[in-house]
Amino acid sequence: MKILLYHWGYYGDIIVVGQNFARELKRRYPTSKIDLMVRPRIRCIEDILDSLDLFQSFIEGEIEDYNSLKSDYDKHYLIDDRVYPEGHLRTIFTHSGFDFRQHPLKLIFSSEQLKIASEILGARNRPVITSQDDMGRKWCPAKSANLQEKISGRFELIRLGPNQIHPEVDRKLTFMESCALISMSDLFFGIDSGIAHGAALSGTQTILLPPIYPEYFISPTSYGNQFIADPKLHHISIKPDTADFCGNFLCLKSTKKGQLSKPSGTPKEVRCNWRKKYFFFPSNSCYYEISTEYFYDIILTTLKNRNLLN
């Protein structure tokens, strides 16, 4: 059986949502051959997912290309760019008429990727903490910089990003090399992003500032924690203070088509004293108001619980 799976999303969505649904297809149709189609801008996805042995081939194309090719396959599935009330992970199951199932998700690193990671890690003192250099995309840039400064002043901190040059190897790292390095670290902290999902799939504990969505939509706390036996190693999501956060994501409004519109509403209705920052809105939000000290304290508490504080 030939199956075409089209995923419109970005790297983080594909390695989580796309991988989970592909594993479901393999469970239902064990002998099937699955081709994964992604947008041309996501061309590096083959380097990330090929080692999982889930897909026969990787195809670049837009939705128009998917529509022209799908008749050549026995089955075809589309993960589009819309957000539905079921959330990212569950929507494709609903659209396909399947009961939702969460599969264990992972990345598999090559010996060369692990070698590069080892060279960068070197003989650093433990704990080694990894983070991303672009936390300011979805949180206050000043707070992001302050948090990383506080962490680097006390611990070994390795910042990761597509423009970071690592002197140990004198070059930038690929996505998989970065994730391999994270897998050797003790903790990763950051924002909802592709590298954060890669961190979770690498097996390292994460502490993340999530998007303005319920956690079951697509969060390591939802798709990862159920497979981690030790609660001290569970992924953690940073939440706003209850005085600022309605707790029910009332800023997410349904559309007439059954999807979700971008968060909106008045402060009286949703108890939000700030407009959303970056991810959906041009200014501040309840998530934006999370303090550096609060984030830092959660990192310290997590390390203490794991006996990693000196």
- pLDDT tens, 138-176? 888 999 999 999 999 999 999 999 889 999 999 999 999
pLDDT band for position 284 (cuts 50, 70, 90): low
Q: Please give the structure tokens belonging to residue 39.
A: 């947008």
Tell me what pLDDT residue 278 has.
Answer: 40
129-160: string of b/e by CB count within 10 Å (b at 16+)? bbbbbbbeebbbeebbebbbebbeeebbbbbb
Instruction: State percent of the chain over pLDDT 90.
Output: 76
121 φ/ψ angles, rounded to the nearest 5 degrees? -65, -45
Give the chain's domains with CATH numbers: 2-96 (3.40.50), 113-239+290-305 (3.40.50.2000)
Q: Please give the structure tokens belonging to residue 291.
A: 């303090």
Tell me what pLDDT residue 7 has.
Answer: 97
Q: Minimum mean pLDDT among 67-81, 127-141, 188-202, 255-269: which range?
A: 255-269
Max Cα separation, the chain? 61
CA distance 110 to 30: 25
For residue 132, the surrounding DSSP H or E stretch is strand 128-132
Instruction: Please determine, for residue 188, whether its predicted confidence score (pLDDT) is greater than 50.
Output: yes
CA distance 178 to 68: 36
Average per-residue pLDDT in the chain?
Answer: 90
- Locus of tokens 């706003």: 240
- Locus of tokens 């380097």: 47
Instruction: Please determine, for residue 65, whether its predicted confidence score (pLDDT) is greater than 80.
Output: yes
Tell me what pLDDT residue 310 has.
Answer: 74
DSSP letter (8 states) at residue 285: -
Tell me what pLDDT residue 183 has.
Answer: 98
Q: Please give the structure tokens belonging to residue 257.
A: 């088509």
Tell me what pLDDT residue 262 has.
Answer: 63
Query: Which pLDDT tens digit goes with each residue over 2-21?
Result: 999 999 999 999 999 999 99
- Global pTM reads 0.92
Determine contact, residues 260/253, Cβ cutoff 8 Å: yes
Alpha helix locations (H) across the chain? 11-13, 19-28, 45-49, 63-69, 88-96, 111-121, 141-152, 175-183, 194-202, 220-223, 267-270, 292-305
